Structure 1
Amino acid sequence: MKARTMKALVYEAYGSPEVLQIKEVDVPAPKEHEVLIEVYAASVNSWDWDLLRGKPYINRIGGLRKPRFPILGADIAGKIIAVGASVTRFRPGDEVFGDLSGCSWGGFAEYVCAGEDALTPMPKRLSFEQAAAIPQAAVLALQGMRDKGNLRKGQQVLINGAGGGVGTFAIQYAKLHEAEVTAVDRACKRDMLLSLGADHVQDYRNEDFTANRRQYDLILDVVGTRSVFKVKRALKKGGTYVMIGGLMPRLLQTLLAAPLIRRFEKKNVTILIHKPNDADQQVWKLLAEAGQVTPVIDRLYGLQDAAEAFRYFGEGEFKGKIVVRIKSETPTP
């Protein structure tokens, strides 16, 4: 590798997308158990958005006044160009995708270093852009439905916030288990949600799923805006409510109320703690290669327009994932 500097999307203060700038910075060097990746695509997640704004304030841990990681981006796909001395799983030239939230972030750049355990070989027949849309959102959907929700064939499932990254993967995974899926989001996403297999679609602005007397075996809540005491009304006895995201007061309320709801109403209430890992990424790799799931990409931006990608994300109208293309090239067949 000859390049010593690279272009990256950098922010030096918390705020709106206006604080994001394209700058020339040094190319990182891989440590002993790391690889250096030439990034072809990276996708925007809600965690990126929260880190950009520094809200809620828990996202400022390690960087109270200025960002700890000046380059955002966890979900990436690209090609390995150098490996650390102790790396055994990969070699230069391998095409990979993965979630760097457990490493050092930095995905919105031409190059990034990552621990080898964070990475998975690219799914065959998928583009770098499609692969970059998978890691964090798909793994959250899998861990929420399979691990926390104990999803079983034929169950009635409700997904609140179904039109984003996590929700679009969750719908497809639930339908693979022949579940009856109710998708809750904005009306403008209705056609997309139905195309993914949702059996029912509710516009949260016109219908409150906690007040219509219907109950579900599993509720996967990506947005967490409603009180757990209202949500439990929509849960069958023995059912499970999995909270993936939401406002801090709602998270705390759910955490404190869970034991009481479990004891007195026999309903399971839990919060998912994200655990990025290669094994779960492998699950989605195989499903994608088999054509059983398809990443939904709303818009594709170039690195020079990445700040606009964040602006669009903040509007909440996007369907599935927003992807930033760093370099144009199709993966090796």
Structure 2
Amino acid sequence: MRVVKIDRYGGPEEIYVTEVEKPTPADHEVLIKVKAAAINPLDWHVMRGTPYFMRAMTGVFKPNKNFQTLGADVAGVVEQVGEQASHLKVGDAVFGDIFNYGYGALAEYVCVPEEALVLKPDNINFEEAAGVPVAALTAYHGLRKFGSISPGAEVLINGASGGVGTFAVQLAKYYGANVTGVSSTRNVSLVKECGAEDVLDYTEQNIADQQRKFDLIFDAVGNLSLSEYKGLLTKNGNCAVVGFGGMAHLIGAGLLGGKHIKMVDFKANQKDLQTIADLMESHDLSTVIDRTYSLDEAAEAIKYLETSRAQGKVIIIP
């Protein structure tokens, strides 16, 4: 089978496609024929080995074997089940986040523990399903578990047009919040289509100059300062920051007693993924797809994602 691999840390030029032996599922695993996968900022961080503390997990000097094939988001069809797999059967259409289960979704086949997967709703296609796990779960945890979103809350979503941001806008609206998105001029209409009542164009105005206060800031970019967070929050407001961009600010927040500012960190689980699947099935949530690429174009896809200009998700189709 064909897989997308890296042997050493670096840029997209280190990515190549090669042939490896088709895997066999262990007792509690299933073999998935991959129909679609998605790439995330997580993938370029693994590719580059940055920030450096990640290498304690991915490999100090070069990627270890669990991180040599990129890809956490997968959607496909079960082709074979392990001897003790009991919940899924051959022919089931499934999707999930496999970052903590061996990684490696950018391939024609991948073996995954049953616990990492849920059934794909019939009313969404494989590309839409592949775009869900990492981005939608990040938005869900940031808003619900970290941000304590509530009906009527004033919510600011920074980076509202990206993979995580488009899900965050939809989820915030679903939970009854009043949503203000932050995006560039070209993405204003997209963010409004996702459900935002108002959109702040950062190319036209300084977001920190807003006189309004927000009960919750969901920052999918991490480019606001600690003082800007505090200036935009209500007295008892919460701020959930996604990704590594805001890590320095959060260290500062800890030192300065910024107890309402938290970095979104979670381990994907079947229960939360099923919640997202149900919202997809009920049409309360949908995947915004910017572009699709083949396995052979994986390096180009990641190079594009690194520009931070993608509108929604970037999908790989084997």
Partner amino acid, structure 2, of 1:10: K
Matches within 5 A, 1:1-333: 6-62=1-57, 63-68=59-64, 69-247=67-245, 248-257=247-256, 260-262=257-259, 268-326=260-318
For residues 103 and 255 of structure 1, the distance between their equivalents in structure 2, rounded to whole angstroms, comes to 31
SS in 2 for 1:315: coil
The 4+ residue runs of structure 1 with deviation greater than 6 A are none
SS in 1 for 2:166: helix
For residues 120 and 312 of structure 1, the distance between their equivalents in structure 2, rounded to whole angstroms, comes to 29
Give per-residue Cα distances to partners, 1:200-221, cap 9 Å, x unaligned. Answer: 2123344232232221011011
Task: Work out the number of aligned pairs and report it.
Answer: 314
For residues 162 and 26 of structure 1, the distance between their equivalents in structure 2, rounded to whole angstroms, comes to 40
Partner amino acid, structure 1, of 2:287: P
SS in 2 for 1:123: coil
Structure 2 unpaired stretches of 5+? none
Identify which range, 149-158 or 200-209, moves more after superposition.
200-209
Structure 1 unpaired stretches of 5+? 1-5, 263-267, 327-333
Percent identity (aligned): 40
- 1:330 maps to none
Identify which range, 210-219 or 243-252, moves more after superposition.
243-252
Give the root-mean-square deviation of aligned CA atoms: 1.4
SS in 2 for 1:92: coil
CA contact (8 A) 1:225 1:250 kept: no
| CA separation of 1:122 and 1:191: change in aligned 2, threshold 3 A | same
For residues 49 and 296 of structure 2, the distance between their equivalents in structure 1, rounded to whole angstroms, comes to 23
Partner amino acid, structure 1, of 2:46: L
CA contact (8 A) 2:37 2:106 kept: yes
For residues 306 and 284 of structure 2, the distance between their equivalents in structure 1, rounded to whole angstroms, comes to 30
SS in 2 for 1:226: coil
For residues 255 and 279 of structure 1, the distance between their equivalents in structure 2, rounded to whole angstroms, comes to 31
Shift of 1:59: 2.2
For residues 39 and 306 of structure 2, the distance between their equivalents in structure 1, rounded to whole angstroms, comes to 10
For residues 296 and 76 of structure 1, the distance between their equivalents in structure 2, rounded to whole angstroms, comes to 16
In the superposition, the TM-score normalised over structure 1's length comes to: 0.91
For residues 229 and 3 of structure 2, the distance between their equivalents in structure 1, rounded to whole angstroms, comes to 42
For residues 115 and 171 of structure 1, the distance between their equivalents in structure 2, rounded to whole angstroms, comes to 31
Partner amino acid, structure 1, of 2:274: Q
For residues 135 and 7 of structure 1, the distance between their equivalents in structure 2, rounded to whole angstroms, comes to 23
For residues 113 and 182 of structure 1, the distance between their equivalents in structure 2, rounded to whole angstroms, comes to 40
Give per-residue Cα distances to partners, 1:129-165, cap 9 Å, x unaligned. Answer: 0000001110111111111111111111001111111
Partner amino acid, structure 2, of 1:159: I
Partner amino acid, structure 2, of 1:164: G
Shift of 1:80: 1.0
SS in 2 for 1:217: strand
Partner amino acid, structure 1, of 2:63: P
